[in-house]
Structure formats: C-alpha cells, structure tokens
A and B are shown apart, each in its own frame.
Chain A
C-alpha cells in the first residue's frame, strides 16, 4: 500500500546548526506521486512548507530544501542553519496530482531548537 515513514521525534538541534529530517515513501497505487512537507506551529493548523510534483526536482522555502528522489523513494528535509522560530512539528506527505488534499502523512517529527 501507500505509506510514508519519517524520522522519529522528538529532535533537538542547537540554533545555527544544520538539520535533516528523513522521509521515505511507498507509492504503489499512485501513478505520479506528489511529495509535500507540512509544518504545524504550536496552536496553529498545518501549513504547506514545500512541495515537489516531479521526480528529480528540488523544492525550497524559508531556507528549507527537499529533493524528490524516485530511485531511493526519499524526500528528506534539510536546512543549513536552523533558527528558534523553526520549532514546530514537521510532516512529510504523499499525494496525487489530481487531489492534493487526499494525503498520506508520515507520523510527524517534533523539532525543538536550543538557543
């Protein structure tokens, strides 16, 4: 079936250090998978951080990057230098191009930044 697995949390990183949150997916019933990173700040709903709909492409937003790797079925989230404001829960998700609200989510990774 379709599934998403991401780094188990919680993760703590010191401010200005680099970050990677791993995400791998299995898309057996989706012909052309779209991949997403969503973020949820405390007390807020999920917000789209970045998305990539074509294998081999990279998405970026707010200093975060992720590359859609079809060979390794991965979509890892990276940031070179984190800030305290990056503290949040990050979700990797898999969807189709036709209906991008019908998503398969990873379990979420809670990120805390140490000042």
Chain B
C-alpha cells in the first residue's frame, strides 16, 4: 500500500530556532509536496519537487527551505522559526498526470 511517513508528528520549538521536518515516501513517486494547514485557510503549498535534487517554489514559500535528497526523502527546513509558522504541515507524493495523491498524517509544529 502506498505510504507517506512524516516525522516528527509533533514538535515544539522556540522563536529563532532551527527545525527540520522529514518526509519519506515508498510509492516510487516522482513528485513530493509540502503543505501547511491553518484554520480558515485550508492547505497551502510551500514547496514541491519532481525528483532528487529538484526544488520548485509553491504559493507560500517565505521562511522555508526544502531539500529533496533522494526520490524517497523530502525535508522542510525552518532556519529561524517564527510564531507565524505554527501550523499543521502535510507532506504528499504523486506521480505525473492523472494519478492519485497520497498524504502523510501531518506534523504539528508549535513555535513559542
């Protein structure tokens, strides 16, 4: 069964701190995505990638970096975390074209 695994599931950090969120997919998909979900906004795309070493900017990229080290692994980096980045983060994977998208269970990040 297709799987997207996020870690950690919960994280608390201080303002100015350095945080890395991890995502691994075992679907052999080319595309991977990072979204954030805030009350009243639905999910918004931060960054995405269509293969190892590739990075594309999404709709709300400010304050975030991302890196795709392998086909399986996609990381989201917050180098100077701010309270405005307190959110629920979802990773997803898909293939090109008319195929299903698979989401992880989410990482709840709190910046205090």
Q: Does B101 contact A (CB under 8 A)?
A: yes
Q: Does B75 contact A (CB under 8 A)?
A: no
Contact check, B90 vs A45: say whether CB atoms are below 8 A apart: yes
Contact check, A101 vs B42: say whether CB atoms are below 8 A apart: no
Residues in B1-60 with C-beta less than 8 Å from chain A: 4, 31, 33, 35, 37, 40-45, 48, 58
A: interface residue count bin: 20 to 34
Interface of B is mostly: strand
Q: How far is the CB of A40 from chain B (nearest CB, A)?
A: 8
Interface of A is mostly: loop
B45: contacting residue among A100, A102, A107, CB under 8 A: A102
Chain B 58-92 near chain A by CB (<8 Å), digits 1 or 0: 10000000000000000000000000000000101
Chain B contacts to A: CB under 8 angstroms: 4, 31, 33, 35, 37, 40-45, 48, 58, 90, 92-94, 96-106
